[in-house]
Structure 1
């Protein structure tokens, strides 16, 4: 198998059509089709279903995709290792991130990277669901959670504790809760994924039911509802850091309970052959987060 053919296959999968892949690579769609046919002949399987307008992976193509990514990344890593003076970063950075964190933190980092590295491209999935990064051929996933045991490689990026917060207007009208029991008298905004609020009480984790006046599946909606004075919300710090620093939201500290400590993790399929584009992105992300003043 030729690495250029593998890169054509990856470009076709990423772009969604042979013509779009050709435009990315600077070659004609007929040449894309011929090189894909050569690759399929060598493997003895059909990798892609082709129509005049779009393509889709066959079952064999889905199985081959993570191997194709690994081979392409290994070649890129070898070239960078042998030519350390080269500062150029190229290829497609494929990643997924939580929606609000992705919009407020990840996108500005990516914008700066793309400006510095004209040959770099990005395929970004913003979603609060857990994505199969191996099955979808992603370079990494940014996750805000307590990670379960996994065969994947995880790198801690930054602390991201949960925060109970509310608008100044709401707290002026309803008072600032001071103790855990005070939550019972307050209206709360609850995410579907966290129907009971996790709190550390006497050193142990307690999941507490609150008076949910508003429930939503969307973190951005919960944050907006809190800013509009609809109640207390429990959200991750980096989803509300700007609102806290600008006074649009105020954090609530309880005397007899504390919030669960979470982190932002970068989850990757493997530590071997980590592409340069991933290393550069993670370094830039850590630098960006370190430069932002913390209010909690």
Structure 2
């Protein structure tokens, strides 16, 4: 298998066009087609469906993407290992993370990561959506949720339980809930994507329907309204750690249930070869959250 053909395959998957891939590589479209055919012959399977206007990945092509990236990363890492001019991690690090967690805990790491690794570039995508990291070419996805069965690889970064909290002013005016039933008497602020608050009782998951006059599609909106005394919120510990330490929010413990335990996970498309840029980022994030 020719690694240059593997690299060309990745360019095609990014451009979704043989013509555009040819322009980027400075070769003819016919040469691109021949080299792609050579790679498919070496692998014994079709990677792309071609039409006169576009190309699309076959299932085999989708499955080959993480291995193709691992092959190219391994070659780059091997060359860098023996290059005296190389310093630190290199290449483009693609990260996706929840917006609230990313702004508070990943963005502050970017200047130091770039300073310590002069040949590193970072593409950080902040979104509440769970994206297809293989199809999008993501190196690492930060997720805060119980993970379902998956072919992806997950590494735990740190614990991040949900907590219920409110501002001191709200609790002074409205009182502190003591039981789950008490929550029905309060203005509960929530994320639009989380219609119920999730708690645990005697090892069982308890989904509690809550009502309130404000909801938002991002953590920042809920947290800000909570700090302003508009109501009670359920967020994760790392979402409100700063406010609790400063005293602008107070953690609420119920007598008959507790919020669900979650963790911060680094989800990877494969661990056959973990690029230095990925392991460097994971180590930096883990250290910052200790």
Common topology (TM > 0.5): yes
Structure 1: how far apart are the matches of 2:114 and 2:164?
35
How big is the alpha-carbon RMSD for the aligned residues of Structure 1 and Structure 2?
A: 3.3
Which residue pairs with 2:100 in the alignment?
100
Q: Is the 8 A contact 1:9 1:36 kept in 2?
A: no
Alignment of 1:193-204 (within 5 A): 193-204=193-204
Deviation digits for residues 89-128 of structure 1 (CA, Å, limit 9, x no counterpart): 1100011101011111111112211111111011111111
Cα deviation digits, residues 24-60 of structure 1 (max 9, x gap): xxxxx9673328874443013998x9xxxxxx98314
Cα deviation for residue 79 of structure 1 reads: 4.0
User: Which of 38, 41, 55 is the equivalent residue of 2:34?
Assistant: 41
Q: Give the corresponding residue for 1:208.
A: 208
Q: Does 1:184 align with 2:184?
A: yes
User: Aligned residue for 2:158?
Assistant: 158
Residue 225 (1) aligns with residue 214 (2): no
TM-score normalised by length of structure 2: 0.82
Aligned residue for 1:58? 55
Q: Which moved more, 1:157-166 or 1:241-250?
A: 241-250
C-alpha contact (below 8 Å) 1:165/1:234 kept by paired residues: yes
Tell me the secondary structure at the aligned position of residue 235 of structure 2: strand
Q: Which consecutive unaligned segments of at least 5 residues does structure 2 have? A: 38-45
Deviation at 1:74, TM superposition (A): 2.2
CA contact (8 A) 1:160 1:263 kept: yes
Q: Helix, strand or coil for the counterpart of 1:189?
A: strand
For 1:268, the equivalent position in structure 2 comes to 268
SS at match of 2:266: strand
Cα gap change, 1:30 to 1:203, in 2 (>3 Å)? closer
2:149 maps to 1:149: yes
Name the CA distance, whole Å, in 2 between partners of 1:157 and 1:243: 22
Shift of 1:237: 1.1
Helix, strand or coil at the partner of 1:59? strand
Q: Is the 8 A contact 1:46 1:58 kept in 2?
A: no
- Per-residue CA deviations over 1:161-201 (Å, capped at 9, x if unaligned) read 00111122211111122222221211101222221111112
Query: Cα distance 1:234–1:131, how it changes in 2: closer, same or farther (>3 A)?
Result: same
- Closer/same/farther in 2, CA of residues 36 and 171 from structure 1, 3 Å limit: farther
Q: Is the 8 A contact 2:100 2:218 kept in 1?
A: no
What SS does the aligned partner of 1:238 have? helix
Q: Does 1:240 align with 2:233?
A: no
Q: Partner of 2:40 in structure 1?
A: none
Taking the aligned partners of 1:76 and 1:35, their CA distance within structure 2 comes to 25
Q: Any conservation in 1 of the 2:199–2:207 contact (CA below 8 Å)?
A: yes
Q: Secondary structure at the match of 1:135?
A: helix
SS of the residue corresponding to residue 255 of structure 1 reads coil
Corresponding residue of 1:52: none
Distance in structure 2 (CA, Å) of the matches to 1:82 and 1:57? 40
1:113/1:215 CA distance change after superposition, 3 Å: same
2:285 corresponds in structure 1 to 285
Assess, with a 3 A threshold, how the Cα gap between structure 1 residues 85 and 115 changes in structure 2: closer, same or farther.
closer
Moved more, 86-95 or 182-191: 86-95
